[in-house]
Amino acid sequence: MCRYVIKRLLISLPVLFLISVGAFLLVHLTPGDPVDMYISPEMTQAQMDLTRSILGLDKPLFIQYFDWMKNLLGGNLGFSFSSRQPVGEIIGQRFSPTLILMSVSLLVAYLSAIPLGIIAALNKNSWIDRTIIGWTFINVSFPPFFLGLALIYLFAIKLDLLPTGGMLVLGQEDDLAGRVTHLILPVVVMASQFSANMIRYVRASVLDVMDQNYIRTAVSKGLSEMHILVAHIFRNSLIPIVTVIGTDLPKIIGGAVITEQIFQWPGIGSLTVAAINSRDYPVLMAVVILSAIAVLVANLLVDVMYAVIDPRIRYEK
Amino acid sequence: MNTDKWVLVHADCVLEESSSGDFCEGEKINAGEASEEVVESWLAITWRRFYRNKVAVVSLILFFGIILVAILAPIISPYDPNQTVGAFDAGPTAQNIMGTDDVGRDLLSRLIYGSRVSLIVGVGSVFIYAVIGITLGLLSGYLGGTVDSVIMRITEVFMAYPHFMIIMVIVSMIGPNMLTVMLVMGFMGWPPICRLVRGEVLKVKSMDYIASAIVTGYSSRTIVAKHILPNVMSPILVNATFGIASAILMEASLSFLGMGVQPPTASWGNMLTSAQSLTVLSEQPWRWIPPGVAVLVSVLDINFLGD
């Protein structure tokens, strides 16, 4: 098991290197000069050159890359061009709101999707099944920004039940109820996207397992329906469920851009939008690298989960 | 890595198909036939199965309807979508049946022209990534060895970036407009289809009729083009259809954030941008509900079609 994890980690290293090169080139080979942020019309050419060399932008590209990498490995992500704060600090502030939003959304999505998927499978081709499947289609097709706006319109403006955006009531940081009410709408938007995939996979997987011989054996042995459902069907449907988690987990950092933007959620997604608008290269590079690392870590976690659930994978390697 | 995991993201009906079993029948039946007949009977079988399903037929008609609206945009729209033709911020009236926006442009005309953007970007980007993905997938699966592992490493790097975020960053860096949105989505979207094709090729490659084609002395190119490609067509088509739906969604989302198609060009996404202001959202629902519904309906329609 341990060797398996180490092997997977080693495979990720070259990928990680290429990701960092990609992120670096991405923000350096594009039109638009970050020095523009610092210069004013009355500056002389000498002053402009000085700003450039202070920022390290006059060096050759690969030197800039190595400087950046050296700092990155030392934990120094540089300073934001627009706010002059250390990038690490900014990311740190934005990290936990995104993590809260995403983990609550995933939890809500899975807790509702798994039972719905099982119910749909047990009532295959009935109106219940069709309604649930139809619901998943609507969920994946609903543009997240439109759903978000519609929910704000309905619940925040017309019914005045929930706040339109933000994360907490200003000045009341400890107010738990305030935090929960701010979470509801963004979580609904995120969870509706996550749940649709899960419902369909659970349904297909349960249907698949129900056809297996060992289920027939369990039925003919006279085991109770509930016991078969939990101990035989559900356990064997777990692999596709892990597959869905594997597609969802990588989105945990970079997947909430639109939702965060609509609800003014102070997370990584809205930070990215702000960094793009102000051409804040250090922040942008850090965000891209961080979210790519999150994807790799999530993939690794999922592979380990596969190995835990399915002994065949564990022993093969 | 987890090849099948990534394949399943886009072609999410694969599981269902294999469980119900009827989807694969067609492929198995015509798998051994001569190449010309393979294409024909594949189309015929697809069409017969399609016709039986009422939802699919309705979706197809609606899809052609949307295409027709996009093509006939200059004829059917009542006004020029970029000209001031009425009062500012006016609700629906007899002259402007869907109202006007903040500079007095006719919203119905903008909605009609927006369908062009959605369809061009949706179909265009999927076409680009399908071509790249199919080519690399065929190479990877058929040649194997070093070529295979290099291509697979590249797909891993591409897939390690969060999809929406990286497209948003690239598009806004090189300058957002309809063409760049389409190109970037096309060049970033190929890894899943590449993996899908590679997996299918590996499956088909072990079949007897490929071995017999090799023994008969066909060139690799002929084998790939005439024997392997037709047999991996069905999953590619399903994947591409879902791909168009998600490409339309992504274009609309980018344009909504102001990082896609730029005004004054009308796109369903950028028509909703103004609704980020609470005044528009609460007092002028005619400005943001129709384009949102337009995106929803067309994406839903194409998803049904793919299913």
Per-residue b or e along B179-192, where b marks 16 or more CB atoms closer than 10 Å to that residue's CB: ebbbbbbbebbbbb
pLDDT higher than threshold 80 for residue B238: yes
- Alpha-carbon distance B223 to B205, whole Å? 10
Report the residue of B158, B173, B284 to disrupt the A interface, i.e. the one with the largest count of A CBs within 10 Å. B173
Q: Nearest to residue B234, comparing CAs of B70, B84, B29, B3? A: B29
pLDDT at B50: 66
Chain B, nearest residue to A146 by Cα: B292
pLDDT higher than threshold 70 for residue B14: no
pLDDT at A41: 67
- Alpha-carbon distance A146 to B275, whole Å? 10
Q: Nearest to residue A267, comparing CAs of A279, A282, A251? A: A251
Token duo for residue A219:
């039925």
Put simply, whether B262 touches A (Cβ < 8 Å) is no
How does residue B263 score in pLDDT terms, banded at 50, 70 and 90?
confident
Is residue B188 within 8 Å of B170, Cβ to Cβ? Answer: yes
pLDDT at B133: 93
Range in A40-44, B179-183, B235-239 with the lowest mean pLDDT:
A40-44
How does residue B24 score in pLDDT terms, banded at 50, 70 and 90?
very low
Token duo for residue A108:
């809500």
What does the DSSP assignment read for A139-174?
Answer: HHHS-HHHHHHHHIIIIIIIS--S-SS-SS-TT-TT
If you average pLDDT over residues A209-215, what whole number do you get? 78
Instruction: Using the Cα atoms of residue A87, residue A93, residue A99 and residue A102 in order, give the sign of their dihedral.
Output: negative
Higher-confidence position of A151 and B282: A151
Location of structure tokens 């349960």: A206
Beta-carbon separation of A137 and B303 below 8 A: yes
Q: Nearest to residue B295, comparing CAs of B261, B277, B282? A: B261
pLDDT higher than threshold 50 for residue B1: no
pLDDT higher than threshold 50 for residue B11: no
If you average pLDDT over residues B128-147, what whole number do you get? 89
- Give the count of beta carbons closer than 10 Å to the beta carbon of residue B288: 24
If you average pLDDT over residues B109-124, what whole number do you get? 90
Q: Is the preceding peptide bond at B264 cis, omega within 30 degrees of 0?
A: yes
A124, A198, A230, A240, B22 from A244: Cα distances, Å = 21, 6, 20, 6, 24
pLDDT at A277: 84
Location of structure tokens 């094709």: B197
pLDDT tens readout for residues A167-205: 776 666 667 777 788 888 999 999 998 898 889 888 888
pLDDT at B18: 38
Put simply, whether B283 touches A (Cβ < 8 Å) is no
**Residue A79, strand partner residues:** A86
If you average pLDDT over residues B181-197, what whole number do you get? 91
If you average pLDDT over residues B36-41, what whole number do you get? 55
Q: Of A67-76, A97-106, A304-313, where does the model show the most confidence?
A: A97-106
pLDDT tens readout for residues A78-118: 778 777 788 888 888 888 889 889 999 999 999 999 889 88
- Alpha-carbon distance A214 to A14, whole Å? 43
Instruction: Using the Cα atoms of residue A298, residue A299, residue A301 and residue A305 in order, give the sign of their dihedral.
Output: positive
What does the mean pLDDT of chain B come to? 78
- ipTM summary value: 0.81
Q: Nearest to residue A201, comparing CAs of A191, A190, A209? A: A209
Beta-carbon separation of B282 and A157 below 8 A: yes
Q: Helix and strand tally (H, E) in chain B?
A: 18, 0
Collect all residues of chain B within an 8 Å Cβ-Cβ radius of residue A142: 296
Instruction: Write the single-letter amino acid at A150.
Output: A
Q: Of A2-6, B51-55, B262-266, where does the model show the most confidence?
A: B262-266
Nearest beta carbon to residue A254 from set B165, B256, B276: B165
Which SS3 state, helix, strand or coil, does residue A198 take? helix
The 8-class DSSP code of residue B86 comes to S
pLDDT at A38: 64
pLDDT tens readout for residues A280-294: 888 888 888 888 888
If you average pLDDT over residues B15-23, what whole number do you get? 38
Chain A, nearest residue to B245 by Cα: A141
How does residue B52 score in pLDDT terms, banded at 50, 70 and 90?
low
What does the DSSP assignment read for B101-138?
Answer: -TT-BBHHHHHHHHHHHHHHHHHHHHHHHHHHHHHHHH
pLDDT tens readout for residues A32-71: 666 666 666 677 777 777 777 776 777 777 888 888 788 8
What does the DSSP assignment read for B232-265?
Answer: THHHHHHHHHHHHHHHHHHHHHHHHTTSSSPTTS
Q: Helix and strand tally (H, E) in chain A?
A: 16, 0
Report the residue of B5, B187, B278 to disrupt the A interface, i.e. the one with the largest count of A CBs within 10 Å. B5
Put simply, whether B15 touches A (Cβ < 8 Å) is yes
pLDDT tens readout for residues A241-276: 887 888 888 787 777 888 998 888 888 988 988 888
pLDDT higher than threshold 80 for residue B68: yes
A261, A269, A279, B109 from B173: Cα distances, Å = 19, 17, 8, 30
Is residue A199 within 8 Å of A191, Cβ to Cβ? Answer: no
Beta-carbon separation of B253 and A143 below 8 A: yes
Backbone angles phi, psi at A299, to 5 degrees: -60, -40
Which B residues 285-304 touch A at CB under 8 Å?
285, 288-289, 292-293, 295-296, 299-300, 303-304
Collect all residues of chain A within an 8 Å Cβ-Cβ radius of residue B257: 145, 257-258, 261, 273
What does the DSSP assignment read for A107-140?
Answer: HHHHHHHHHHHHHHHHTTTSHHHHHHHHHHHHHH
Collect all residues of chain A within an 8 Å Cβ-Cβ radius of residue B165: 254-255, 257, 269, 272, 287-288, 291
Report the residue of B23, B62, B165, B276 to disrupt the A interface, i.e. the one with the largest count of A CBs within 10 Å. B165
Instruction: Write the single-letter amino acid at B179.
Output: L
Nearest beta carbon to residue B295 from set A138, A146, A164: A146
- What DSSP element (H or E) covers A2? helix A2-28
pLDDT higher than threshold 70 for residue A316: no
Range in A120-129, A182-191, B26-35 with the lowest mean pLDDT:
B26-35
Beta-carbon separation of B169 and A143 below 8 A: no
Q: Nearest to residue A236, comparing CAs of A150, A310, A146, A294? A: A310
Report the residue of A147, A276, A301 to disrupt the B interface, i.e. the one with the largest count of B CBs within 10 Å. A276
What does the mean pLDDT of chain A come to? 81
- Alpha-carbon distance B31 to A134, whole Å? 33
Burial of A74 (0-12, 13-18, 19+ CB in 10 A): exposed
Put simply, whether B272 touches A (Cβ < 8 Å) is yes
Higher-confidence position of A37 and B64: B64
pLDDT at A106: 92
Who contacts A245 (Cβ-Cβ below 8 Å, separation ≥6)? A110, A302, A305
Put simply, whether B58 touches A (Cβ < 8 Å) is no
Burial of A223 (0-12, 13-18, 19+ CB in 10 A): middle
